[in-house]
Amino acid sequence: MKLASAAQMRELDRQAIEEAGIPSIELMERAAEGVALTALAYLPRPKKAAAAVFCGSGNNGGDGIAAGRMLREKGVDVRVFLVGSREKLTPDAREEERRLTESGGALEPYDPESLAQAAWTNRAQVIIDAVFGVGLSREIRPDSPYARAIALMNGSPAPVVAADIASGVAADSGAVLGCAVKADRTITFTLPKIGQFVGEGALCSGQVTVWDIGIPEELTTKTVCTVQTMEEELAAEALPPRKADGHKGDFGKLLVVGGAVGYTGAPYLTASAAVRTGCGLVFLGVPGCIWPVEAVKCTSAMPFPLPEYEGMLSCDALQKIEEKLALCHVLALGPGLGRSQQVTDLVCNLLWRTEKPVVLDADGINALAEHMDVLDSRRGRVTILTPHDGEFARLGGDLSGGDRVGAARAFAMRYGCVLVLKGHRTVIAMPTGNVLVNTTGNSGLAKGGSGDVLTGVIASLLAQGATAAQAAALGVWLHGRAGDTAAEWLTEYAVTPEDVIAALPEGIRTILP
């Protein structure tokens, strides 16, 4: 599903009005219809219900005014509040005010000190938020009437329906600009917006429904969106095919390098997830001191000992790793490595020297953080990084503005890598500037070891012949889908990384041809 920016939506509106000749007031009426119908769904007995509508001075406010009128026409007792200046009403919003007045309603100035308005809002059965649209770019001051109105809506027990976007959410990033409405439903127009699927915006948007307001399909079809959601259809296209007469060598050979004293679970989880996702042969190189533990744990992957120093891999392991890697297609590096100077030197040497695709995670990322020139040197080779926010910051990624999509895209383009920025709505950024936003997963995945499973899934798909972009995107989707399945079995509280591995086959089953 394509995700549009605010600029793209402005351009689509312009084309529809100026080139396709659709009156802007007609677009507004259709938008209001979607909002009003959604609000009515919360009101089984409209003629005995009350609603509060909060509108700004812009065209988003016009949508709200029109929706208020439509609710009145269905018998709902509606009060429509103007948050902002009546003098700044757009021409279409003024026309909607005229129609509201003609129907017997009124556009009331919002008064933050009015106890009567607050009481009405608190006893309403539904609230419509139409204060700010996708054009908002400035912070909402905490002492402003806008902030007071948002707080009033959020404090009401009634469900909130947002028109186009929850007020206070930045359309392009999902950042909250000071404060934001926490909507139960968002009726967004023509195309969904980036900010409704990432960052805090995803949490403020509730259930997002796209409403057709009549912009010609040929205009939306030719709109090129560099940000999309990762959906089941794309996942199915990315799944590597399996030959009916294939043998284990045909389905990829993966080398996992990781582990340290106290971190025996991480490499085991990575290797196990890789096997469960279909990789033909999985080798697991670990420090010699923990090799007996891994040998007992692993029944399908093949662990082998490597030179170690103080419970972690030493630089002397380089030759043996390279010998094994020469027989493999992909290297998964980092799970449970621990942190030491020898580990850092080993990781940097491996990244510098190998031409093989690498999936780098955990302490592999931490080792790279002080040597970003090594990542520069891999431009043109396949490198997939899977940091969480803290690791991303250590790599130099900037999330201070709350723009996960923009930060991930800038990093991937800067270093020529695929970046998997983990978290709620994981972002997968490509060197081309294209970005996918994942929509699977739940809080049950917020446990130690979950990232190790993800590394194994991505590396397995890469070894089986998926491209770097396909492996990263499908790996994240499958991992989240398995997490959702495991949560259905066990609740989000009880899910473990082993449960996610066990649920991977159900995710694969849903996208098989």
Coil vs helix vs strand at 411:
helix
| pLDDT computed for residue 370 by the predictor | 87
Q: How confident is the model at residue 204 (pLDDT cuts 50, 70, 90)?
A: very high
Question: Please, which residues bridge with residue 41 across strands?
Answer: none
Q: How far is residue 260's CA from residue 285's CA, in Å, rounded to a whole number?
A: 11
Percent of the chain with pLDDT over 70: 100
The token duo for 331 is 């290297």
Contact in structure between 500 and 453 (CB atoms under 8 Å): yes
Per-residue pLDDT of 1-36, as tens digits, reads 999 999 999 999 999 999 999 999 999 999 999 999
Does the pLDDT at position 111 exceed 90? Answer: yes
Contact in structure between 405 and 415 (CB atoms under 8 Å): no
Closest to 439 measured CA to CA, from 417, 455, 461, 423: 423
Judging by DSSP bridges, how do beta strands 281-287 and 358-360 pair with one another? Answer: unpaired
Q: How far is residue 34's CA from residue 191's CA, in Å, rounded to a whole number?
A: 14
The token duo for 260 is 């340290």
Percent of the chain with pLDDT over 90: 99
The token duo for 143 is 């002492």
Closest to 40 measured CA to CA, from 80, 4, 67: 67
Per-residue pLDDT of 461-489, as tens digits, reads 999 999 999 999 999 999 999 999 999 99
Q: What secondary structure letter does DSSP report for 312?
A: E
| pLDDT computed for residue 333 by the predictor | 98
| pLDDT computed for residue 26 by the predictor | 98
Contact in structure between 238 and 478 (CB atoms under 8 Å): no
The token duo for 384 is 């997939």
Does the pLDDT at position 205 exceed 90? Answer: yes
Lowest average pLDDT, out of 166-170, 367-371, 452-456, 461-465, goes to 367-371
Fold classification of 247-389+402-508 is: UDP-N-acetylmuramoyl-L-alanine:D-glutamate ligase (3.40.1190)
Task: Indicate the average pLDDT of the chain.
Answer: 97
Q: What type of residue sits at position 215?
A: I
Per-residue pLDDT of 401-410, as tens digits, reads 899 999 999 9
Contact in structure between 416 and 378 (CB atoms under 8 Å): yes
Q: How far is residue 244's CA from residue 452's CA, in Å, rounded to a whole number?
A: 30
Q: How far is residue 404's CA from residue 436's CA, in Å, rounded to a whole number?
A: 12
Asked if the domains 2-225 and 247-389+402-508 are classified in one and the same CATH topology, the answer is no
What architecture is domain 2-225?
3-Layer(aba) Sandwich (3.40)
Supply angle C-alpha 180, 173, 198, rounded to 5.
Answer: 85
Supply angle C-alpha 274, 461, 283, rounded to 5.
Answer: 40
Q: In the chain, what are the domain boundaries?
A: 2-225, 247-389+402-508
Compute the radius of gyration of the chain from its Cα atoms.
Answer: 27
Q: How confident is the model at residue 212 (pLDDT cuts 50, 70, 90)?
A: very high
Q: What secondary structure letter does DSSP report for 378?
A: T
Q: How far is residue 207's CA from residue 187's CA, in Å, rounded to a whole number?
A: 8
- What is each CA distance from 267 to 120, 161, 231, 273, in whole angstroms? 58, 46, 29, 10
Per-residue pLDDT of 356-414, as tens digits, reads 999 999 999 999 998 999 999 999 999 999 999 999 999 999 999 899 999 999 999 99
